[in-house]
């Protein structure tokens, strides 16, 4: 009996081949796990399980969990848009720093890791942009180093505080904290009078912007 025409033949089923294990896939999966389970929930074992490989296979690409965390942080910095260089160097810095804060808040595990040595290409490219903008504004030498550190520490600290608050406190926590200050106004008269912890009076975005403006005035003698 002759075989049917080629167009009518059924292709034999083939087992689907796994996609190759690459550093890109490892980092993609690590970021997903970190977003879902934070730093404590990421292990080399569950990373390998998510990738459907053995843990041994990971070590052809990364040596330790710290390597994975460094790569993941640099990936998050890659989400920070680098602005086009404009005529206003201060606004260039503001745009960069706002994007940095947004990326950190979108991945709230990331600010906790920024104290690690940051030498990834995405981190360095954005630090280069920040310093080049400061240089255009007249900073150099010690002033440049201090301004860079002040801005970096500010955005990291702000993002860490906000991210931690959002992760650990319920929606009514800020109001409860404010009520506690008000109920103890005799002990904390200045805090009570200033509206400390009153999110309805000044929200995080406004406080961040005003803080950034203050740091730019101080750091660059605007």
| pLDDT tens by residue, 130-143 | 999 999 999 999 99
Look at residue 222 and tell me whether its pLDDT is greater than 60: no
| pLDDT tens by residue, 49-91 | 999 999 899 999 999 999 999 999 999 999 999 999 999 999 9
pLDDT at 7: 56
Percent pLDDT > 70 in the chain is: 86
Residue with tokens 């969990």: 65
| pLDDT tens by residue, 167-178 | 666 667 777 777
Percent pLDDT > 90 in the chain is: 58
Q: At what angle are helices 89-106 and 204-220 packed, to 10 degrees? A: 140
Predicted TM-score (pTM) of this structure: 0.81
CA distance 17 to 14: 9
pLDDT at 25: 95
């Amino acid at each position: 009996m002759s075989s049917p025409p080629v167009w009518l033949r059924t292709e034999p089923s083939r087992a689907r081949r796994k996609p190759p294990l690459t550093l890109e896939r490892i980092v993609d999966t690590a970021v997903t796990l970190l977003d879902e389970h934070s730093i404590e929930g990421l292990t080399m074992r569950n990373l390998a399980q998510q990738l459907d490989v053995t843990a041994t296979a990971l070590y052809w690409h990364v040596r330790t969990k710290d390597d994975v965390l460094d790569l993941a942080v640099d990936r998050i910095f890659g989400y920070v848009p680098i602005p086009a260089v404009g005529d206003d160097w201060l606004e260039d810095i503001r745009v960069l720093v706002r994007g940095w804060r947004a990326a950190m808040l979108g991945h709230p595990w990331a600010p906790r890791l920024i104290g690690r040595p940051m030498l990834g290409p995405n981190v360095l490219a954005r630090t280069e942009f920040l310093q080049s903008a400061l240089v255009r504004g007249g900073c150099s030498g010690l002033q440049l180093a201090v301004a860079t550190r002040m801005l970096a520490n500010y955005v990291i600290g702000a993002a860490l505080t906000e991210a931690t608050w959002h992760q650990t406190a319920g929606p009514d926590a800020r109001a409860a904290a404010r009520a506690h200050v008000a109920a103890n106004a005799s002990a904390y008269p200045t805090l009570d009078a200033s509206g400390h912890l009153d999110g309805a009076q000044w929200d995080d975005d406004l406080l961040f912007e005003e803080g950034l403006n203050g740091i730019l005035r101080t750091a660059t003698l605007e």
